[in-house]
Amino acid sequence: AQSVTQLGSHVSVSEGALVLLRCNYSSSVPPYLFWYVQYPNQGLQLLLKYTTGATLVKGINGFEAEFKKSETSFHLTKPSAHMSDAAEYFCAVSVSAGNMLTFGGGTRLMVKP
């Protein structure tokens, strides 16, 4: 069975600062990895995904994540935070196409002016 751990349920950064949201996973087979964002009172929206190929994945809104197999990590970064990035972010893992996603507990990102 797979699992996902997001370190830090709340992260606060200043506007313009680096955003780093941490995600570690466990999986017995090569995983598919995802980051989703949830704005208040909305559903989850896909930010980016890793399935195969290049380990550095770029997503929407300037976010990117790097798959590091040796560290079983898939951390999400953005060089410069914007106020509009304030939201909850979820990391998720799947073991095959079409299969269920296992979500982490989420990290709430706060951006200070």
Partner 1 sequence: DAGVIQSPRHEVTEMGQEVTLRCKPISGHDYLFWYRQTMMRGLELLIYFNNNVPIDDSGMPEDRFSAKMPNASFSTLKIQPSEPRDSAVYFCASSLRGTSEQYFGPGTRLTVT
Are the CB atoms for 4 and 92 separated by under 8 Å? yes
* Interaction pattern, residues 52-91, with partner 1; x per rule: CB under 8 A: --------------------------------------x-
The span from the CA of 107 to the CA of 15, in Å, is 17
Q: Terminal CA-to-CA distance of the chain, rounded, Å? A: 41
* By the rule CB under 8 A, 97 interacts with partner 1: yes
H-assigned helices in 1-113: none
According to CB under 8 A, which one of 67, 106, 109, 111 is a site residue for partner 1?
106
- Interaction site with partner 1 (CB under 8 A): 32, 34, 36, 42-46, 49, 51, 90, 94, 96-101, 103, 105-106
